Structure 1
């Protein structure tokens, strides 16, 4: 069994993920566990507009609401969740992208959650 990378949350990402519906939270948790063990999540896309190695995990709940978790697993010490939110439009809002960018920049400059 592969080693389990620690999961670390930046800013209020943990609180936001905890606000997901129960089904979406369970799905996101399982997919993040896959990432922690070095496996890809079931549904994700790269987010180069935020930074290299940043990906967006996509989950839906039983009510067909859409949720996103932006993370990076490229750092050696942990999987970092930069942002988590409920998506309400077709495109990811610029404010969500900017928030994840700021958090990644802070993380890479030595600021740890």
Structure 2
């Protein structure tokens, strides 16, 4: 099973999700750790090839987790947030992109 590496505040952000969304987020990330696809996802090539967004819809709202799982040993969780509009806000895309670039410079 791949390890999860949380970038920036992504872990704290997932922990701040309402309980139903947090439980679903944990399950979806476990699927990714096992090399499986989450139940609902879409590619995010504007951030980087291989980056995906887990889409969680619960009674408490819509939540997103942006991640990269193309490495053999880890899943990078770039960003997690509650989505309040139809389109993913540019600021959230830019934040995920910046975190990935910073991580690549540091390795």
CA distance in 1, matches of 2:51, 2:22: 20
Aligned to 1:96: 92
* Structure 1 unmatched ranges of 5 or more: none
Q: CA deviation at 1:73?
A: 0.3
Q: CA deviation at 1:106?
A: 1.3
Structure with greater strand share of residues: 2
CA distance in 1, matches of 2:71, 2:90: 24
Alignment of 1:50 with 2:39, yes or no, is: no
Q: CA deviation at 1:79?
A: 0.4
Aligned to 2:2: 5
* Structure 2 unmatched ranges of 5 or more: none
TM-score calculated relative to the size of structure 1 = 0.91
Give me the CA root mean square deviation: 1.0
Q: CA deviation at 1:107?
A: 1.6
Runs (4+) of structure 1 exceeding 3 A deviation are: none
> Could you say what secondary structure the match of 1:96 adopts?
helix
Aligned to 1:36: 33
TM-score calculated relative to the size of structure 2 = 0.95
* Equivalenced residues, count: 107
